[in-house]
Amino acid sequence: MPRSAPARAPITSPAAATVFTTVLTEGPVSRVDVARRTGLSSAAVTKAARPFIEAGYLEELASEGRTTPGAGRPANPLAIRPDREYFVGVKITGDDLIGVVTDLRADVRASAHHALTGHDVEHVVHALADLVGELLAGPTPDGTSNLRDRAYCLGVAVSGDVDRASGVVRYSPFLGWRDVPLASLLEDATGLTATLENDVKALAVAEQWFGEGVGASSFALVTVGTGIGSALVVNGDLVRGAHGVAGEIGHVPVADGGPACHCGGRGCVEAIASTEAILTRARSVSGESALSMEDAVVRARGGDELLREVFAGAGHAIGLGLAALVNLFGPERVVVSGEGVATYDLFEDQIRRTFAVQAFGSAARCGLVIRPLPFEEWARGAAAVAIQSLFVAESV
């Protein structure tokens, strides 16, 4: 059931995108301030902002008193109208679908999930369409309308090699897919404009717009969990890799002759610090082949030295991988996140220690943030991609 595209402010010029993203990411700002921050003339900002205001994406706040002292006409800050439009984000994992509805600021307004009983394309498309239907069933948060009529963009995050431009999943080991034109299948099934992105890159987009990446022209996001991955932003652009592969920090070799990795290499970060690798090692050192991750965490926290060393070893491997990344890239900031970071009390110290030793020169000055991440956050990243599709030129 394809539907017609909504009435939109056509965002064509570079300046328009610049102005809009500045307001989006840096909160209410006056036109002159936007001009100062972006290097545009204030006249250009005035012109660029107008269509957005008319379309309802931006609004002009009343100059509620003066914040900074001094003479002069007070500013009329521009602000996002977050409820103008809603966005759907869905993260596809091996086991289930996690979906959210967000506003224009990528704040989550509703969420739902759905178990997957299989991995064939038809089933996943069907389940995803169901999930979207469920998410959009209710009224809008402000009660003035139906979500269905105010959400046009769907963002989908999948792990693996994803060609965002064409909307094709080129290769997803988790799902066992090759060259699946998922975006167009989903557009047909949901009636929404669909944008596909690699899951870690989607999260990086969210982080770049609304999280730790704000204001940094280069930063890296590292996710630790079942797998270990990363996404790199240089000069404001995601690094995609000539062959669709980039940011594979999980397969950076850090321990020469270390444990074999499923990728065929040895001593990869992922072979030491993924959830599975940690559990395998914990079972081995404890001699208990049925030890659960939960128990291992409890005991390590309780002071079990052998188990603590397993976690520290994972932290060490991550620290080495981070050092490799930072020495090669020199990002301004690095965020470490993911499910695995839930137990970060067990390895944060070691990550920082190893990183401090191995980071070269002033590269070590980069801001290193280690922070756990609610699972829903992945879906929020997908929604951020949907938002991005609204106002960023195609060739991202």
By a kind-dependent CB cut-off of 5 to 8 A, residue 16 interacts, out of a copy of itself, DNA, none, with DNA
Residues contacting DNA: total by CB under 7 A: 30
Question: Residues 365-384: x/- map of binding to a copy of itself (CB under 8 A)?
Answer: xx------------------
Q: What type of residue is 194?
A: A
Regarding 76 and contact with DNA (CB under 7 A), the answer is yes
241 secondary structure, DSSP code? -
Strands (DSSP E) contained in the chain are 58-60, 78-80, 86-92, 96-102, 108-115, 151-158, 161-163, 168-172, 177-180, 193-198, 219-224, 228-234, 237-238, 333-337, 367-370
Q: Looking at 52-60, 107-115, 195-203, 257-265, which segment touches a copy of itself (CB under 8 A)?
A: 257-265
Tally Cβ neighbours within 10 Å of residue 273. 29
By a kind-dependent CB cut-off of 5 to 8 A, residue 241 interacts, out of DNA, a copy of itself, none, with a copy of itself
By a kind-dependent CB cut-off of 5 to 8 A, residue 15 interacts, out of a copy of itself, DNA, none, with DNA
By a kind-dependent CB cut-off of 5 to 8 A, residue 63 interacts, out of DNA, a copy of itself, none, with DNA
Regarding 75 and contact with DNA (CB under 7 A), the answer is yes
Q: At what angle do helices 42-55 and 31-38 cross, to 10 degrees?
A: 120
Q: Strand 151-158 to strand 108-115: parallel, antiparallel, or no bridges (unpaired)?
A: unpaired
- Give φ, ψ of 99 to 5 degrees: -125, 150
Nearer to a copy of itself, 49 or 232 (CB): 232
Question: Residues 44-63: x/- map of binding to DNA (CB under 7 A)?
Answer: x-xxxx-------------x
CB-hemisphere CA count at 13 Å for 198? 25
Regarding 70 and contact with a copy of itself (CB under 8 A), the answer is no
Regarding 148 and contact with a copy of itself (CB under 8 A), the answer is no
Regarding 305 and contact with a copy of itself (CB under 8 A), the answer is no
Q: Looking at 43-51, 62-70, 97-105, 237-245, which segment touches a copy of itself (CB under 8 A)?
A: 237-245
Q: Exactly one of 249, 300, 307, 310 binds a copy of itself (CB under 8 A); which one?
A: 249
Residues contacting a copy of itself: total by CB under 8 A: 52
Q: Looking at 64-72, 192-200, 229-237, 305-313, which segment touches DNA (CB under 7 A)?
A: 64-72
For residue 147, what are its two tokens? 């979500």
Q: Report how far residue 83's alpha carbon sits from residue 131's, in angstroms, rounded to the nearest whole number.
A: 21
Q: Which residue has the tokens 């395998």?
A: 280
- Give φ, ψ of 345 to 5 degrees: -60, -25
Site for a copy of itself in 152-181 (CB under 8 A): 161
Name residues whose C-beta falls within 8 Å of residue 190's C-beta, 6 or more positions apart in sequence: 128, 129, 132, 133, 154
Give me the least distance between CB of 10 and DNA, in Å please: 9
Q: Strand 96-102 to strand 177-180: parallel, antiparallel, or no bridges (unpaired)?
A: unpaired
Q: What share of the chain is helix, strand, coil (3-state, %, to 5)?
A: 45, 20, 35
Regarding 69 and contact with DNA (CB under 7 A), the answer is yes
Beta-bridge partner residues of 92 = 97, 158
| Structure-derived torsion over alpha carbons of residues 338, 343, 349, 353, reported in degrees to the nearest 10 | -40
By a kind-dependent CB cut-off of 5 to 8 A, residue 284 interacts, out of DNA, a copy of itself, none, with none
By a kind-dependent CB cut-off of 5 to 8 A, residue 75 interacts, out of DNA, a copy of itself, none, with DNA
For residue 96, what are its two tokens? 């289930």
Regarding 30 and contact with a copy of itself (CB under 8 A), the answer is no
Regarding 73 and contact with a copy of itself (CB under 8 A), the answer is no
Q: Which residues bind DNA (CB under 7 A)?
A: 12-16, 30-33, 39-44, 46-49, 63, 66, 69-77
Q: Which residues bind a copy of itself (CB under 8 A)?
A: 161, 216-218, 230, 232, 234-235, 237, 239-249, 251-256, 258, 263-268, 316, 320, 323-325, 327-332, 357-358, 360-363, 365-366
